[in-house]
Structure 1
Amino acid sequence: MDAAGLSPRQLAVRTGVTTKTVERWLADADLTPHARNRDDACRALGVDEDMLWPKAVKERIKSGGDPEIVQTYPYRSAAPSALWADLTGNVADDILLAGYTGYFLWSQVPRFPEVLRSKVEAGCRVRFLIGDPEGEVTQQREAIEATALSVSTRIRITLEHLAPLASLDGLEARYSAPEDAVNHVSLSVFRFDEEALVTPHLARLVGHDSPLLHLRRRGEGGMFDRFAEHAEELWTRGLPIEF
């Protein structure tokens, strides 16, 4: 906390708890906060969980949990509001946003166009892989979800936001190939260097009602690599979008 320049009150604000709760964390080394609070505290302090609460990490590994899983959320909308912004802001080399619609990113990440522009200008590769709004799988998914804000409409919102950025050298956008659309619409992968957010889409649920996994790469062949390779494979067969 001293190194991060945060007082107990400031850390409490960052993690959404009371100051007394933070003071209890400091006073009782055996007290393990809720997983979401641990994740928020680690991001606020810029450290890994095993530095603050090694007991929790050991228990998770002992019980069979994958060490590359930073956190799980029963709904994408349950993830901390700052998570998407933090991952986008901290990335240096490669962003691959392989969500089928991706429209929510512009409301989830403050000043998203400006952030993307600054990342590209700093040498970061930025890629969007989205579904074809006219594709057969898109139409099938619309019938399944039966929501007012349809899948094709959400994709077109993303296209409208991307159009002003299309001239940036370093930003690329593709539609998933028709033969890959079924695999794409059922699994969204958002990669930020060696961290990723993954959403498997359940039955007729829209993205914000489906689960979310936060992954961080720790070695070859782990959970992170499995999902990253899936997204890369879809990307290689993707069709360039003409703006």
Structure 2
Amino acid sequence: MVGNERLRAAMATRGWTHAALAAVVGVDPKSVERWVNLGRVPRKVTAVKAAQALQENAHELWPALRQPRSARAVSPELVALYEQRADLPVSVFIDLLSSARERIQFLVYAALFLHEAYPRLNTLLREKAEAGCRVQICSGDADSPNVRLRGEEEKFGHGIESRCRLALLHYRPLLDVPGIEIRTHGTTLYNSMFRADDQMLVNAHVWGVNAYGAPVWHLRHAEGATMFKGYAESFDAVWSTAREVQQ
């Protein structure tokens, strides 16, 4: 389960304990603890009270409040919806990966923001693999026509090709780690995906918009639902056609 790092930081900055905030808002301290450590989202009225006490914006502390209530009824797998990837602190991605026990999967073109903001990423992936977690990283093939086209569409020129090559340089030290597999793909990337066991962050791609400006939805697998399963199968399909990176 991913914690709420924004809420944790806001409370720490102003010296609020779980018990103190709970007393002001009128809930049990365990509820506040679940907001912080498990990423639970309170009712809107309660969230507004908490945000006022913390002198913060409720929607910034809990971006999921922006989504209409009907969205949860349509899909029980939708945990949260973010307007753009830039709204998410990298800690959300890292907390998700840190929670993995069996499987980590990346389907991206480059996703350099992870290494740039969290230099310990390779160490985390190595530790996960050593603990028995299967790590599959599927990065963009810099020589693929689809990668070059994406650069043109985003008016990024050859920059995206360079970023794909740089991404591989970051991952190369992991090539000899048992349990870690790295491949490159040349598919049209409709979404970037970051999976940890039964949870997934999906960064949608919008024509002409860089990925950091496009929406992200946080999914959690639910029995009988199909969204998570569809993205997971999409990863498997791309992975089966991707080329293994040699040492």
TM-score (norm 1): 0.76
1:203 aligns with 2:195: no
Q: Following TM superposition, where does structure 1 have runs of at least 4 consecutive aligned residues deviating by more than 6 angstroms?
A: 19-22, 54-57
Structure 1: runs of 5 or more not aligned: 1-9, 31-37
The CA deviation at 1:85 is 1.2
Alignment correspondent of 1:163: 172
Secondary structure, counterpart of 1:104 in structure 2:
helix
The CA deviation at 1:25 is 5.5
Distance in 2 separating the partners of 1:118 and 1:63 = 35
- Percent identity between the aligned chains? 25
Alignment correspondent of 1:69: 78
Alignment correspondent of 1:4: none
1:241 aligns with 2:245: yes
**Given the alignment, which residue of 147, 155, 158 partners 1:138?**
147
Distance in 1 separating the partners of 2:84 and 2:212 = 6
1:52-131 aligned at under 5 Å gives the runs 53=43, 60=69, 64-131=73-140
Q: CA 1:63/1:217 → structure 2, altered by over 3 Å: closer, same or farther?
A: closer
The CA deviation at 1:12 is 5.1
Q: Which one-letter code corresponds to 1:207 in the other structure? A: A
TM-score (norm 2): 0.75
Q: Which one-letter code corresponds to 1:82 in the other structure? A: S
The CA deviation at 1:109 is 3.4
The CA deviation at 1:80 is 3.3
Structure 2: runs of 5 or more not aligned: 1-5, 47-64
Alignment correspondent of 2:50: none
Distance in 1 separating the partners of 2:110 and 2:127 = 23
Cα displacement string for residues 27-54 of structure 1 (whole angstroms, at most 9, x for unaligned residues): 4459xxxxxxx9x9746333654xx559
Counting matched residue pairs gives 218
CA contact (8 A) 2:134 2:180 kept: yes
CA contact (8 A) 1:174 1:241 kept: yes
Distance in 2 separating the partners of 1:62 and 1:158 = 35
The CA deviation at 1:11 is 6.1
Distance in 2 separating the partners of 1:227 and 1:14 = 34
Cα displacement string for residues 129-170 of structure 1 (whole angstroms, at most 9, x for unaligned residues): 111101111111111122277111111111101111110011
Alignment correspondent of 1:3: none
CA contact (8 A) 2:90 2:114 kept: no
Cα displacement string for residues 51-103 of structure 1 (whole angstroms, at most 9, x for unaligned residues): x559999x835873422111111110101332011011111110000112122
Q: CA 1:43/1:14 → structure 2, altered by over 3 Å: closer, same or farther?
A: farther
Distance in 2 separating the partners of 1:121 and 1:24 = 39
Secondary structure, counterpart of 2:90 in structure 1:
coil
1:226 aligns with 2:230: yes
Distance in 2 separating the partners of 1:136 and 1:144 = 12
Q: CA 1:112/1:48 → structure 2, altered by over 3 Å: closer, same or farther?
A: same
Distance in 2 separating the partners of 1:170 and 1:43 = 33
CA contact (8 A) 1:81 1:108 kept: yes
Q: CA 1:11/1:173 → structure 2, altered by over 3 Å: closer, same or farther?
A: closer
Q: CA 1:230/1:29 → structure 2, altered by over 3 Å: closer, same or farther?
A: farther
Q: CA 1:21/1:133 → structure 2, altered by over 3 Å: closer, same or farther?
A: same
Q: CA 1:11/1:237 → structure 2, altered by over 3 Å: closer, same or farther?
A: closer
CA contact (8 A) 2:103 2:135 kept: yes
CA contact (8 A) 1:142 1:151 kept: yes
The CA deviation at 1:222 is 2.6
Superposition RMSD in Å: 3.3
Q: CA 1:136/1:87 → structure 2, altered by over 3 Å: closer, same or farther?
A: same
